[in-house]
Amino acid sequence: APVSPLVAETEAIVKQFEYTDEDVNRGVKEFLRQMNEGLEKDGTSLAQIPTYVTGVPNGTEKGLYMAVDLGGTNFRVCSVKLNGDGTFNITSAKVAVPKHLMVAKTAQELFAFLALQIKKFLEKHHGDHFEAHIRRRMTVSSPDGYKDEHAFRMGFTFSFPVQQMGINKGTLIRWTKGFDIPDAVGKDVCALLQDEIDRLQLPVKVAALVNDTVGTLMAHSYGAPGTHGAVLGAIFGTGTNGAYLEKLSNLKKPLVGDYDKSTGDMVINIEWGSFDNQLNVLPQTPWDTALNQQSVNPGFQMYEKLVSGMFLGEILRLAINDLMKNPRISFFRDDNSSTNDLRSTTDIAETSPIYKQWAVDSTILSVAAGDHTPELSLLRKELDDSLQIHAAAREDAQAFQAIAAAIGTRAARLSAVAIAAVVLKTGKLTDPAYEGQPIDIGVDGSLVEHYPYFRGTIQKALECVEGIGKEGADRIRIGLAEDGSGVGAALIALVAAGME
């Protein structure tokens, strides 16, 4: 049967999002080249930032640690009891950061608020420890609270760009995500937090500055005792990034701070969102180009703009808008020329997010991918509920689903590029110590957690990579890292405490 004009136009769009096996292989080669370049010098596409964390846990770690996470909208405080057998108990509290503090005059105002939340948490959940500490302090003359050996060691996950100078030292490069406190830029964020903790005389030492990908790597290694630990920790959420363990001998650029040299390794924060900003190998459909041009940072984070949750909804919105404007077809709109056309009931509110830049959440890609009902009732309900596209025709929902799938599949196959490159870089597939053993990868983030088939699609793409193949891909285990930001930060605080 001849295909309908709508199907033909949809296929033409879908085709542009194709990312072939050949593309994957070209991507992997370039990723490896850029990884090596980043280990040699500063100012490259992949920043390859040394984290001063020199090993991954093996699951036997024990003790009570604290972790805090300032990610954007919320500040999370938790205590983590590591049981030494790969399990843990976590107690946590979350507060929204007041808007006025995101743009406070001084850094002190924000950090005083954070310290106060830590105090409240300790009073509520660790009253005994807290009381004992206060009593002890009254008999110990040193006013220097955090040198107290009984103090909590705390990992501080701070998801803004920092220049790391040591395991608990790093200066803020710039604020992002709506924060703007110029006074803090260039200052050591760990010292800013420690000062306020000390002002409240809390028994807490900021022991480690943590990137969320490193936390994921650590948490996933701890959670799989008896293995070699994870080879990669990766985030696929609002943004995307990864961290892995590299040999110190491969790290050619100078390191400023002190670190434990005995392991011969260092965890590297790849900052892979900016892979191939020069577009040597990354695909660019007209919609990617438009998105990039309209973004706040054209030419930067080019890989992230094809892969992460913050952008997939907008790529979809742009492609769908083109289909809606296509004069050869009637898509999501009335067709007055035909009296018996069921589409004529479709109605899109003027205020629909489909007309508004950045307003389509990537969640709808997951709904589309997960809808196997014959009439696409789940997707059509979502179109109605979240995009105010009422009574969409089934054919139109099918077109929407096909385009969403093309964008999601490309994102997953591009994710496989980074994962494959890191696996190959570590050489674990051919390492005799790993023979017959799985290669563990810890992942976190709403996209990889909720998009159906995201991990499966990555797994399939890994099979086509030269040097991995079906056999290698079968050994690569991509698992969700449980509570990476809490447990991971606690583990890094533990590692750091061992270095004091």
Catalytic residues: 159, 174, 212
Is residue 450 near ligand ADP by the rule CB under 6 A?
yes
Joined together, the tokens standing for residue 348 give 């899109």
Q: Using the rule CB under 6 A, which residue among 55, 145, 233, 309 binds ligand ADP?
A: 309
DSSP label at residue 272: G
Nearer to ligand ADP, 215 or 229 (CB): 215
Is residue 271 near ligand ADP by the rule CB under 6 A?
no
**Which window, 110-118, 359-367, 375-383, 490-498, contacts ligand ADP (CB under 6 A)?**
359-367
Nearer to ligand ADP, 51 or 485 (CB): 485
Q: Using the rule CB under 6 A, which residue among 361, 382, 396, 483 binds ligand ADP?
A: 361
**Which window, 29-37, 334-342, 411-419, 439-447, contacts ligand ADP (CB under 6 A)?**
439-447
Nearer to ligand ADP, 71 or 84 (CB): 71
Alpha helices in 286-393 (DSSP H): 286-294, 304-307, 309-325, 363-370, 377-387
Nearer to ligand ADP, 166 or 445 (CB): 445
Q: Which of 391, 379, 388 has its CA nearest to residue 334? A: 391
State in angstroms the smallest separation of the CB of 325 from ligand ADP.
Answer: 25
Q: In angstroms, rounded to a whole number, what is the distance separating the alpha carbons of residues 489 and 210?
A: 6
Nearer to ligand ADP, 67 or 310 (CB): 310
Indicate the SS3 state at residue 156: strand
Q: In angstroms, rounded to a whole number, what is the distance separating the alpha carbons of residues 339 and 371?
A: 30
Query: x/- binding map, residues 225-254, to ligand ADP, per CB under 6 A?
Result: ------------xx----------------
Indicate the SS3 state at residue 172: strand
Is residue 137 near ligand ADP by the rule CB under 6 A?
no
Determine the residue type at 499: M
Is residue 446 near ligand ADP by the rule CB under 6 A?
yes
Nearer to ligand ADP, 54 or 366 (CB): 366
State in angstroms the smallest separation of the CB of 345 from ligand ADP.
Answer: 29
| Size of site (CB under 6 A) for ligand ADP | 15
Indicate the SS3 state at residue 473: helix
Is residue 114 near ligand ADP by the rule CB under 6 A?
no
Which residue is it, tokens 């890191």?
A: 422
How many Cα atoms occupy the beta-carbon half-sphere of 158 within 13 Å?
A: 30
Q: In angstroms, rounded to a whole number, what is the distance separating the alpha carbons of residues 297 and 307?
A: 16
> Could you tell me the sign of the dihedral formed by the alpha carbons of 404, 410, 412, 414, in that order?
negative
Nearer to ligand ADP, 231 or 310 (CB): 310
Q: In angstroms, rounded to a whole number, what is the distance separating the alpha carbons of residues 167 and 170?
A: 8
State in angstroms the smallest separation of the CB of 210 from ligand ADP.
Answer: 14
Q: Using the rule CB under 6 A, which residue among 365, 429, 478, 489 binds ligand ADP?
A: 365
Q: Mind giving me the DSSP string for 9-61?
A: HHHHHHHHT---HHHHHHHHHHHHHHHHHHHH-SSSSS--EE-S------S--
Binding to ligand ADP (CB under 6 A): which residues in 373-432? none
Nearer to ligand ADP, 263 or 363 (CB): 363
Q: In angstroms, rounded to a whole number, what is the distance separating the alpha carbons of residues 313 and 80?
A: 35
Q: Using the rule CB under 6 A, which residue among 28, 451, 482, 495 binds ligand ADP?
A: 451
**Which window, 121-129, 432-440, 443-451, 476-484, contacts ligand ADP (CB under 6 A)?**
443-451
Q: In angstroms, rounded to a whole number, what is the distance separating the alpha carbons of residues 271 and 400?
A: 32
Q: Using the rule CB under 6 A, which residue among 162, 206, 291, 310 binds ligand ADP?
A: 310
Q: Using the rule CB under 6 A, which residue among 363, 386, 388, 398 binds ligand ADP?
A: 363
Cα 336 to Cα 139, 230, 248, distances in angstroms = 86, 59, 69
Which residue is it, tokens 């040198």?
A: 147
For ligand ADP, the binding residues (CB under 6 A) are: 71, 237-238, 309-310, 361-363, 365-366, 445-447, 450-451
